[in-house]
Structure 1
Amino acid sequence: MHPMIHWFRRDLRLTDNTALAAAAQASGGAVLAVYIFDETILHGRFASPGRTAWLLANLQQLEADLRTRGIPLVVARGNPVEVLPALVRATGARGVYWNRDYTPYAVRRDAALKTQLREAGFEAESFKDAVIFEFHEVLTKEGRPYTVYTPYARRWRQLLAEQPVRSIGIPDLIPYVRPPELATTSEVLPATTGATLAQFGMELPYPLPDAGEHTAKTYLARFVSLHRDAPIAAYAEQRNLPGIAGTSRLSPYLRLGIISPRQLLTAALTLRDHPDGNNALTGVEAWLGELIWRDFYVQVLYHHPYVLRGAFRQAYDALAWENDPAHFEAWQTGHTGYPIVDAAMRQLRQEGWMHNRARMIVASFLTKDLLVDWRWGERHFMHWLLDGDPAANNGGWQWAAGTGTDAQPFFRIFNPVSQGQKFDSEGAYVRHYLPELRNVPNTFIHEPHRMASADQIRADLQIGRDYPHPIVEHKVQRERALALYATVRKAQSEP
């Protein structure tokens, strides 16, 4: 029996894995499970110790899940375009199946691999798995990709009604026994996920959440259920409040494919269509909107790969950012003197995650208040975030900077004080991540520098010693940001 290799990538699960199911069907269940540490990604410009550690933890869980079915996980390190053809020849496999990725590098690498395998007489097939709808499925009537979210979302929902999406189970897998004539090729078959972060020259920056497919399924079941108090029922109202647990926290699992977007979609639609699910309708629709945003940014990156290096609206590459290193460092470490910003940045460093509303606030602050290039923030997020995804992260940063496809208008600039007052009115989020402000009364929790001396004494806080003064004045910086953008816009309008 000739097995099929399934190349695990951003799909570290057995349930609802499109390429894995196809490989099992094509080979009668004889699947060789392979993961390759791609050196280009491992040490690329978006390399991340936290995400690498998260990858290792989930690979160990995947290996354990495969082992219960008698399937070893083959782990190698190197260039997949070189490693996989060698593995095919060494194992007598028919070919390689994998699920598609859409970054410019992945598209080039996978095309080269397909060509090499097929020219050598082997099978090489890729499958849609990481998105609900791909780059060629949601198009305008003229066959062009959308660059504005709202019409894209409308068409996405129409397609969903026309082409129902459902998740599938775990395929039947059988252990593969290597023929005797291949026994001498064991040197290309390392069979353990025992790699450590230290072997990659990295250190764990923060504690990790529990890994594995079972954990992700448990989180999903808790968030989306028929219970009237299920978090998804209040998601539309609570998703903007960073001080409460109003979101699913599934994004790190979705990033590595430990759970699939179809599993999330199926759970949400099952609740929406259930007679007892009416109380959750607004939450379900809001949650579906986030899945649509995710697909939207993936197709933007696929069709416009240059966005990973510059602005989608290329005229804004001419913005004269100030890029003050001291301001950037204060933002990175959470010492700007604006509590909602500092709380969010410290959450990022402590947990490798940040609430979505907080992401918007800190991105607006970096670009519009500190006048720092959005690409600096993009790289910082990709270094720290467990769920750091090139498409979504780039899309979010360009939205905040006003340079993207469906961007926030350049003149809409978040006020970090009013944002804190609106979305963290009692200061729970701020106090959790900025314990030095724990005794500050609600009146001043988002403007502690405005406290009088007596208030500071009661709060056991001295501004400038225990917590910094604001490093910039928002009102002043807002006008400077508007002028910065106006210069570029004027240059574009001149003949």
Structure 2
Amino acid sequence: MTSIVWFRRDLRLSDQAALAAAAREGPVIPVYVLDDDTPRHRAMGGASRWWLHHSLASLDAALRDKGSRMILRRGRCEEVLAALAKETGAERVHCIRHYEPWWRNAERAVAKQVDLVCHDGNYLAPPGSVTTATGAPYKIYTPFWRALKQWMPPAQPHDRPRDIPVPSQWPASEKLADWALLPKRPDWAAGFAAEWTPGETGARDRLADFADHAARYDAERNLPSIEGSSRLSPHLHFGEISPAAVWHRVADAGGSVDVFLSEIAWRDYAQNVILQLPDYGAKNGREKFDDLPWRSGKAAAADLRAWQRGRTGYPIVDAGMRQLWATGWMHNRVRMIAASFLIKHLLIDWRDGERWFWDTLVDADYGNNSVNWQWVAGTGVDSNMWGRIMAPLGQSEKFEAGDYIREWVPELAGLHDMVIHDPEAQGCRPEDYPAKIIGHREARERSLAAGRKVR
């Protein structure tokens, strides 16, 4: 029996339950459908498209090594897959189950057209399966993680299929280059290739590098100048490696590796949140924050643009925003600082920041992005308190960000550690570096006043 494997954010051959099941049944037709209609305003952003291009090229090469290939089609998933099944005589479509609201809608639509079999494999445990004693889903992370640990470790990951049966005749495929996923005029992603190797091989290499210092994760993850995080998030988002493979590779590293494992669990938690609250990327988790008086108008728009460009006058914030634009990535601690600055210092709606990250992050993930922004904003079902306002200057000094700032804000490269975190206050701000867009004390008072209006 010929089957179609519908790839989405599961671009790997190893530990790929849908591919393994299809290969057991007979000839396999691997397919990726570029569907920008179903997600509507949640179509992939520019940085994700850059990653997708290279990840698909890598996966196609891996398939060709086994005598197979990737078929590329563009259009609505249910229409494309139904037409392809009719064209090839495929009797079944296998896929890894996804939980973003548009993919759940797509799975329902596809299932009306063909025999669709969904498999688990993108998370430590199937979202929705970890519940309270009464069967209710968790909304708060800490008890969720406590319950998820009872399921751990996950099953051992499976090796890639030894053989992938092929059809007697291949259907036509579109050309990846014709999808124009890579930016050209201008090529704002020129620096991405120096930072990233999309694909399953790149994911394995990144994991191997991280495994060597996974035991020191808690001590190093908050230091942007060291970059002690794993940098696995884009590989996990695109499914180039399974979380089970990551877990089993590092779980016995000792030291503070349990802190890292809890971060892998955060991915599961975020999916459980969007499963319960599909509009979490657009709606406050706490309705009372609908009354929060966000700034708007020309002044707010100018401040948002300054934040996006890394021109706020706060070196740690500007370094992070420039790193994001240059590499499609931002250090995790700096993400929190930059997000808090936009929300609490500039009083700009968290959704404006979330949309910018959606377009510019190579690891832009609906669940993680939505949950993380709402956590920082204090608007989420599990979140920081509004009154907890990060002090970016103090954070920069505390986490020894001097070298990080020098790398990404060259105007400040010549400054000593004693002054680089706040050159304006030290009287040594270079002429080509902007003054603070707002003072910390003024911003804090304005933020607290806004918060009092929603209590």
DSSP-derived class of the 1:5 partner: strand
Q: Partner letter of residue 147 of structure 1? A: K
Distance change (3 Å), C-alpha of 1:261 and 1:332:
same
How far 1:9 sits from its partner (Å)? 0.6
Secondary structure of the corresponding residue to residue 313 of structure 2:
coil
Q: 2:158 aligns with which of 156, 165, 168?
A: 168
Give the alignment partner of residue 143 of structure 2, picking from 148, 151, 159: 151
Q: Is 1:428 paired with 2:386?
A: no
Matches within 5 A, 1:1-16: 2-16=1-15
Q: Does 1:402 align with 2:378?
A: yes
Give how far 1:309 is off: 1.5
Pick closer, same or farther for the CA change 1:46–1:418 going to 2, 3 Å.
Answer: farther
Contact 1:74/1:192 (<8 A) preserved: no
Counterpart position of 1:51 = 48
Partner of residue 193 from structure 1, selected from 176, 196, 219: 176
* Partner Cα separation in structure 1 for residue 383 and residue 320 of structure 2: 22
Instruction: Give SS of 1:84's match.
Output: helix
8 A contact 1:337–1:468 mirrored in 2: yes
Residue in 1 that maps onto 2:267: 294
1:107 corresponds in structure 2 to 104
Instruction: Give CA-to-partner distance per residue, 1:324-368, whole Å, 9 cap, x none.
Output: 111111111001010000000000000000010000000110000
Q: Distance in 1 between matches of 2:68 and 2:396?
A: 51
Stretch moving more, 37-46 or 249-258: 37-46
* Segment drifting more, 193-202 vs 291-300: 193-202
SS of residue matched to 1:312: coil
Report which stretch shifted further, 196-205 or 55-64: 196-205
Match of 1:328 in 2: 304
1:115 deviation in Å?
Answer: 2.1
Give 3-state SS (helix, strand or coil) of 1:296's partner. helix
Within 5 A, what are the aligned runs for 1:83-482?
83-117=80-114, 123-160=115-152, 164-178=154-168, 189-190=172-173, 192-197=175-180, 204-206=187-189, 207-208=192-193, 209-224=196-211, 230-269=212-251, 272=252, 277=253, 280-282=254-256, 284-323=257-296, 324-424=300-400, 427-452=402-427, 456=428, 462=430, 465-482=431-448
In the comparison of the two structures, how many residue pairs are matched? 448
Q: Which amino acid aligns with 2:137?
A: P
Output the CA distance in 2 between the equivalents of 1:303 and 1:314: 15
Q: Counterparts of 1:8 and 1:174 in 2: how far apart (Å)?
A: 15
What is the distance in 2 between the residues matched to 1:43 and 1:305?
14
1:35 aligned onto 2:32: yes
5+ unaligned residues in a row in structure 2: which ranges? none
Q: Would the aligned equivalents of 1:41 and 1:47 in 2 still touch at CA under 8 Å?
A: no
Aligned AA for 1:66?
L
Hey, what's the Cα distance between the residues in 2 that align with 1:115 and 1:66? 29
User: For the residues of structure 2 that align with 1:438 and 1:432, how far apart are their CA atoms?
Assistant: 7
What's the secondary structure of 1:85's corresponding residue?
Answer: helix
Pick aligned residue for 1:72 from 45, 69, 73: 69
Q: Distance in 2 between matches of 1:388 and 1:174?
A: 31
Letter of the 2:134 counterpart: E
- Residue 172 of structure 1 deviates from its aligned partner by 3.4
Shift of 1:474: 1.1
User: CA contact under 8 A between 1:58 and 1:212: conserved in structure 2?
Assistant: yes
Q: Which runs of 4+ in 1 moved over 6 A?
A: 198-202
Give the C-alpha shift of residue 255 in structure 1.
1.2
Deviations 1:408-435 (Å, cap 9, x if unpaired)?
111111001101011125x011111001
Distance 2:128 2:306 in 1: 42
Superposition deviation, residue 40 in structure 1: 2.1
Q: Scaled by the length of structure 1, what TM-score is found? A: 0.87
What residue identity is the alignment partner of 2:11?
L
The DSSP-based 3-state class of the residue aligned with 2:235 is helix
Return the letter of the residue paired with 2:158: I
| Matched residue SS, 1:33 | strand
Contact map agreement 2:5 2:93 (CA 8 A) in 1: yes
Deviation at 1:195, TM superposition (A): 3.3
2:255 aligned partner, one-letter code: L
Counterpart secondary structure, 1:96: strand
Contact 1:231 1:247 in 2 (8 A): no
* 8 Å CA contact 1:11, 1:17 repeated in 2: yes
Whose helix fraction is larger, Structure 1's or Structure 2's? 1
**SS of alignment partner, residue 94 of structure 2:** strand
> Which stretch of the first structure deviates more once superposed, 343-352 or 105-114?
105-114
Q: Indicate the SS of the match to 2:124.
A: coil
SS at match of 1:39: coil
Task: Structure 1 unaligned segments of length 5 or more: list them.
Answer: 118-122, 225-229, 490-495
Partner of 1:20: 19
Q: Is the 8 A contact 1:72 1:191 kept in 2?
A: no
Answer yes or no: is the 8 Å Cα contact 1:197–1:203 preserved in 2.
Answer: no
The residue type equivalent to 2:135 in the other structure is: G
Contact kept, 8 Å, 1:306 with 1:312, in 2: the verdict is no
Distance 2:197 2:179 in 1: 17
User: Once the 2 structures are TM-superposed, how far is the Cα of residue 116 of structure 1 from its aligned partner?
Assistant: 2.2
When residues 194 and 131 of structure 1 are mapped into structure 2, their CA distance, relative to the original with a 3 A threshold, is same
Q: Aligned partners of 1:102 and 1:261: how far apart in 2?
A: 16
Q: Partner amino acid for 2:448? A: L
Tell me which amino acid in the other structure corresponds to 1:259. Answer: I
Which residue matches 1:120? none
Residues 432, 106 of structure 1: alpha-carbon distance in 2 compared, 3 angstrom cutoff: same
Name 1:492's counterpart in structure 2: none
